[in-house]
Amino acid sequence: MTDATFTMLGLGLVLGLRHALDPDHVAAVSTIVSESKSLRRSSLVGTFWGLGHTVALLLAGIFVLALKFQISPRFALWMEFVVALMLILLGARSLLRSLRDYKVHVHRHTHDGTEHVHVHVHRPGEQHRHRHLIKLGARPFVVGMVHGMAGSAALMILVLATLPSAIAGLVYVAVFGVGSVGGMLLMSSLISLPFVFTAKRFSAVGSGLQFVAGGASLAFGVFLVWQYGVRDRLLF
């Protein structure tokens, strides 16, 4: 490989690290990380997201670089639309999970012959749930794959325009994927810190943060549905 190729591979690693900061990636992973009360589990969420993302990019790379398959602009737009729908589903799920432990009770009391009605909101204590590694990683892996397919078109255009061969292109995609794994591992760990710190003593705050994460993902997903479906005329 030439010096220019090595330079491009180094750039691919840096771009992969930066790729983890894309708003739709952060929104999706935040909803999943908000359910975790452990820094280790949260870092695994980011790792599995990055692995799914890399697998999707490598599959796209094989089709485009080796088999000369062309990704049409409309197909790429549809994949972005699928990402928007996924953000809505993840956001709605996170919202429901943040509220599911709250129970509203109405108590009636009698004081000095006068009956009073009191409304209370109770949140039972958290129960520890053991989650196996495969079950923990399945959802972020699938989410990462969807994001990878949505971003594959732009990446393949970049690879085809700058690298001399299909092998070099696949290596670039792999290096980019390694960067995205590392970037999302760090990002998911940082995002999880507020949830980890509030898990035991401030569970209500943690639920509030989960509600905010879900609402943000839902709102961003609705915005993207409008952008791709209406403004870009995908649906009309």
Phi, then psi, of 109 in degrees rounded to 5: -130, 150
Q: Are 121 and 102 in contact (CB under 8 A)?
A: yes
**Predicted pLDDT of residue 161:** 67
Alpha-carbon span 54 to 61, nearest angstrom = 10
| Biggest distance spanned by C-alpha atoms of the chain | 92
**Predicted pLDDT of residue 112:** 56
* Domain boundaries of the chain, sorted by first residue: 3-231
**Predicted pLDDT of residue 41:** 85
**Predicted pLDDT of residue 215:** 94
**Predicted pLDDT of residue 40:** 85
Residue 13 neighbours by CB distance under 10 Å:
18
Q: Are 42 and 189 in contact (CB under 8 A)?
A: yes
**Predicted pLDDT of residue 208:** 86
**Predicted pLDDT of residue 12:** 75
> What parts of the chain have a pLDDT lower than 70?
1-5, 101-135, 157, 160-161, 199-201
Q: Cα dist. 136→65, 140, 192 in Å?
A: 33, 8, 15
- Structure tokens belonging to residue 204: 């209500």
Rg of the chain's alpha carbons, rounded to an integer? 22
How deeply is 82 buried, as exposed, middle or buried, from its count of CB atoms within 10 A (0-12, 13-18, 19+)?
A: middle
Q: Which of 66, 204, 63 has its CA nearest to residue 123? A: 204
Cα distance from N-terminal residue to C-terminal residue, the chain: 47
pTM across the whole model: 0.81
